[in-house]
Amino acid sequence: MPTPLPLAHVRVVDFTWVIAGPQATRILADFGAETVRVEYHSNLDTIRNTGPFVEQAPGVNRSGFFNNMNRAKRSITLNVHHPDAFRLLKQLIALSDVVIENYSSRVMEDWGLGYEELRRIKPDIIYLSLSGFGHFGRHRDYITWGPTAQALSGLTAMSGLPGLPPAGWGYSYMDHTAGFYGAIAVLMALHHRNRTGQGQWIDMSQAQVGMALTGSAILDYVANGRPYKRPGNPPGNRLTDRPAAPHGAYPCRDGEWCAIAVFTDDQWRGLRHAMGEPAWTQEPRFASLSQRCAHQDELDELVGAWTRHQDATELMQRLQAAGVPAGRVQVSRMRAEEDPQLAHRGYLVETDHPEIGRWRVEAEPALLSATPSRIERAAPVLGEANGYVYQELLGLPDEDYARLVDEAAV
């Protein structure tokens, strides 16, 4: 018998799109929450139309990006301009535990579905709003994408080499991360509801979540008067919070890179040994950790001149055997096809999609002994759950459902 899915008793009405909201509902759905995406043809989640597509042929059910973010969820279509739309939505909400949306901050209110109305429909509803700036405050109407939130919160400026423009984040980190907090918040609220029967509204701002990840920098400024914006910052791959040298990404054969992090004298001895004890390592300027930190530029040059001729994977293995923290810089291909640890963990699992077939998606990185996550379906074909939701759950008679289809309500 399969293990139980721990959130199988939770139903989520999912108005989310792009990444931040879908990341939140992805975690809930992966652990079994029945997650119903509410969509419509004329106003689709932009990720349905964002590549990569299977065989590079676009189509609303063909995006691999969408498949990875929305697996294990269901989809209904609903035309909010049809006069029956909100009656149907409210019926669904009345049967649900959680409502999640990441629209800009006035959409749900304009629809007459603010928290006060939601709780009239379902008194213990848990409502998560996840917008760029939150639903109140003077800039509530300002909007963000992941990179906007990263720039605003300080995270972009904290990534890069000193003296150069920020490298920032090469993807929407704050979409993933706001989604993590969204899932965490909903799960906390469900626990509170289990104890008290009380639902609530959780208002999130994506930019604000980013600011919560800059605590050490803020405290350094507040307590010591030291701004993050100062010569030498951002520190590239070096550390400012403790001594470490060498510490960075070093070039290897075939354009690859390997990260090496040396914190102690033992690890330095291990690195020297792995390099074959070259004479320069005996020089006084590298004799102690503080000396190595003071001469990091020269040290990086010398270490890099050696790593340049090494295979990155063999280098990592050799350094690990010598007691040195090291890890190759892995592009997606290496993580998907070559990394024995990720493979051992079951990092990727296969799903079967009715239109695009069998494809791998990321599994959950937490293994639960009694109630592990199980991804039982691929991302939903647009509207695949209309019959289930409108007829089975809401109990619409055949003729009413046929009329809704005729009138393009669904």
Partner 1 sequence: MAEQNRSQPLTALGDLRVLELCDEKGQYMGKLLADMGADVIKVEPPGGDAARRVGPFLDDTPGPERSLSFWYHNTSKRAITLDLERPEGQRLFKELARRADILLESQPPGYLDRLGLGYDDLSALNPRLIMTSLTPFGQTGPYRDYLASDLTLLALGGVMASCGYSEADFPDAPPIRPDGGHAWYIGCHYGVASTLVALLWRDLTGQGQRLDVSIQEAVSCTTEVALPMWLYNNTVVIRQTGRHAASFITPQTQHPTADGRLLNTFATGRDPASWTRLVEWLASEGMAEDLADPRYGDPLVRMGAATHQEPYHVAEVLGRFIARHTAEELFQGGQTRGLPWSIVRFPEETLADEHFRDRGFFVEVHHPEAGRALTYPGEPYRFSATPWRLRRRAPLVGEDNEAVLGGELGLSAAELDRLRSRGII
Kindly identify the residues of this chain, within the stretch 31-60, that bind partner 1 according to CB under 8 A.
Answer: 31, 46, 50-54, 56
Under rule CB under 8 A, which residues in 109-148 are in contact with partner 1? 115, 132-134, 136-148
Residue 188 near partner 1 by CB under 8 A = yes
With H, G, I as helix, E, B as strand and everything else as coil, classify residue 337: helix
Among 154, 293, 296, 394, binds partner 1 (CB under 8 A): 154
Question: CA 358, CA 18: separation in Å to the nearest integer?
Answer: 23
Q: Are strands 326-328 and 257-261 parallel, antiparallel or unpaired?
A: antiparallel
Among 189, 379, 382, 385, binds partner 1 (CB under 8 A): 189
Per the annotation, the verdict on 175 as an active-site residue is: yes
Instruction: Determine the interface stretch with partner 1 among 35-43, 240-248, 378-386, 397-405 (rule: CB under 8 A).
Output: 240-248
Name the residue nearer to partner 1 (CB basis): 112 or 365: 365
Query: Minimum Å distance from CB 392 to partner 1?
Result: 24
Instruction: Determine the interface stretch with partner 1 among 37-45, 161-169, 283-291, 399-407 (rule: CB under 8 A).
Output: 161-169
Q: What are residue 128's phi and psi, to 5 degrees? A: -110, 120
Query: Minimum Å distance from CB 409 to partner 1?
Result: 25
Helix H or strand E encompassing 25: helix 20-30
Is residue 220 within 8 A of residue 150, CB to CB? The reply is no
**Residue in this structure with the two tokens 């990444």, named with its chain if needed:** 19
Among 58, 112, 123, 227, binds partner 1 (CB under 8 A): 227
Query: Minimum Å distance from CB 381 to partner 1?
Result: 17
Under rule CB under 8 A, which residues in 97-116 are in contact with partner 1? 115
Is residue 325 within 8 A of residue 332, CB to CB? The reply is no
Q: What are residue 202's phi and psi, to 5 degrees? A: -115, 120
Name the residue nearer to partner 1 (CB basis): 215 or 276: 215
Residue 198 near partner 1 by CB under 8 A = yes
With H, G, I as helix, E, B as strand and everything else as coil, classify residue 374: coil
Among 192, 285, 309, 403, binds partner 1 (CB under 8 A): 192
Name the residue nearer to partner 1 (CB basis): 75 or 150: 150
User: Catalytic residue among 30, 45, 175, 203, which?
Assistant: 175
Residue 214 near partner 1 by CB under 8 A = yes
Question: Site map for partner 1, 367-396, x if CB under 8 A?
Answer: xxxxx-------------------------
Residue 358 near partner 1 by CB under 8 A = no
Residues binding partner 1: number (CB under 8 A): 159
Name the residue nearer to partner 1 (CB basis): 44 or 261: 261
Is residue 13 within 8 A of residue 92, CB to CB? The reply is yes
| H-helix segments, 95-139 | 107-110, 115-121
Residue 402 near partner 1 by CB under 8 A = no
Name the residue nearer to partner 1 (CB basis): 256 or 410: 256
Query: Minimum Å distance from CB 23 to partner 1?
Result: 9
Question: CA 392, CA 237: separation in Å to the nearest integer?
Answer: 55
Query: Minimum Å distance from CB 141 to partner 1?
Result: 8
β-pair partners for 36: 13, 74
Question: Site map for partner 1, 293-332, x if CB under 8 A?
Answer: ---------------------------x--xxxxxxxxxx
Is residue 98 within 8 A of residue 27, CB to CB? The reply is no
Q: Which residues contact 248 (CB under 8 A, 6 or more apart)?
A: 236, 237, 238, 259, 260, 300
Residue 27 near partner 1 by CB under 8 A = yes
**Residue in this structure with the two tokens 């799960």, named with its chain if needed:** 187
Q: Which residues contact 98 (CB under 8 A, 6 or more apart)?
A: 10, 11, 12, 13, 28, 33, 125, 126, 127, 128, 186, 190
Q: Beta-carbon neighbour count of residue 9 at 10 Å? A: 12
Nearest to 156 by CA among 213, 107, 116: 213
Among 339, 388, 394, 400, binds partner 1 (CB under 8 A): 339
Structure tokens at 147: 């990179």
Positions marked active-site: 175
